[in-house]
Amino acid sequence: MKTIAFGTLKGGTGKTTTCFNLAGALALDPNNKILLVDGDPQCNLTNDIGIDCSDMNRNNIRTIFENKKIDPSELIVKGAIDELPNVDIIPSNILLIKTEMQLVSIAGREKLLANYFSKNSDFFSQYTHVIFDTNPNLGVVNQNIFYFVDSIILVSDVSLNAIQGAELFSFLWEENIEDLGIENNIKALIINNFDKRINLAKDLQDYYLSEEEFKDILVETPIPGSVAMKDTSLSHLPIVVLQPQHQAAIAVRRVVKELVSREVF
């Protein structure tokens, strides 16, 4: 089982879109079984899959922190994408923000999620990949996610703010991991919403390739900006299903191939 989280400290760079679409491409291999986990109270990944996250009766990621004894099978929505029955999801909930506040004073608070997965490893080992979406902060819920996963994938778009978001994440997370006693698990950086007609696009790639912390982890293939990628959210279908021949779908499959060869996926 590989565990992966998408992150950065800038909103709108395409974390959720990339998470949803790369998971879709991974799921084309029927040997893969994927569990998505939405760690963002804005619930964008949950919405992309087509699940209503304001439903207070549905278990969600918050339940893990509220009721440590919950059986994992009760958290999961199975086969939420008809075309890709090997993708399950633990949805988010708008009240995840409350969990953040409740956890602040608990001892060992950053390790609760890791403990839950470890206690229920028999159940979770049915999945080849557990993939988390996050929102742009390093609050307690996200710390739990980033502490638990083998690999963090940073997502940048073509903007100076996105560079700052990736650099800030990398800087702050390195401070965190010293306290948490783990190795640096930032393993990849994807450029999303790429348009080679924009002058800054090539400069951005060159910049990341010149930086010590990013040069070895930058994913070679950028994901192009396109209306088709935007449509994946409204249609609740990843690009590889929605428009498999589209250049964005080709890029997404290439990115997945590269991440598989680097053992991130």
Closest by CA to 256, choosing from 13, 8, 11, 20, is: 20
- Please give the backbone phi and psi of residue 151, each rounded to the nearest 5 degrees, phi first: -135, 135
Q: Which is nearer to Mg ion, 12 or 244 (CB)?
A: 12
Among 44, 60, 142, 170, binds Mg ion (CB under 5 A): 44
Which residues in the 226-255 window bind ligand ADP by CB under 6 A? 226, 229-230, 233
Q: How far is the CB of 72 from Mg ion (least distance, A)?
A: 24
Position 15 contacts ligand ADP (CB under 6 A) = yes
Q: By the 8 A CB rule, do 48 and 20 touch?
A: yes
| C-alpha torsion angle, residues 60, 139, 19, 156 (rounded to 10) | 160
- Listed ranges 13-21, 77-85, 96-104, 180-188: which one lies at the site for Mg ion (CB under 5 A): 13-21
Q: Is 50 in the site for ligand ADP (CB under 6 A)?
A: no
Round to whole Å and give the CA distance between 36 and 88.
Answer: 6
Choosing among ligand ADP, Mg ion, none, which partner's interface includes residue 39 (Cβ < 5 to 8 Å by kind)?
A: none
List 59, 142, 193, 243, residue binding ligand ADP (CB under 6 A): 193
Q: Does 243 sit near Mg ion (CB under 5 A)? A: no
Q: What is the dihedral of CA 198, 203, 209, 211, to 10 degrees?
A: -130
| CB contact at 8 A, 140 and 109 | yes
| Candidates 76-84, 102-110, 169-177, 222-230; binding stretch for ligand ADP (CB under 6 A) | 222-230
* Among 26, 225, 249, 264, interactor with ligand ADP by CB under 6 A: 225
Could you tell me how many residues make up the chain? 265
Using rule CB under 6 A, residue 140 touches ligand ADP: no
Helix (H/G/I), strand (E/B), else coil: 228: helix
| Shortest distance, position 62 Cβ to ligand ADP, whole Å | 19
Contact between 192 and ligand ADP by CB under 6 A: the answer reads: yes
Query: Residue 139: what are its φ and ψ, rounded to 5°?
Result: -70, 180
Q: Find the shortest distance in angstroms from Cβ 234 to Mg ion.
A: 15
Question: CB burial class (10 A; 0-12, 13-18, 19+) of residue 108?
Answer: exposed
Binding site for Mg ion (CB under 5 A): 15-16, 44
**Site residues, ligand ADP (CB under 6 A):** 11-17, 44, 192-193, 223, 225-226, 229-230, 233
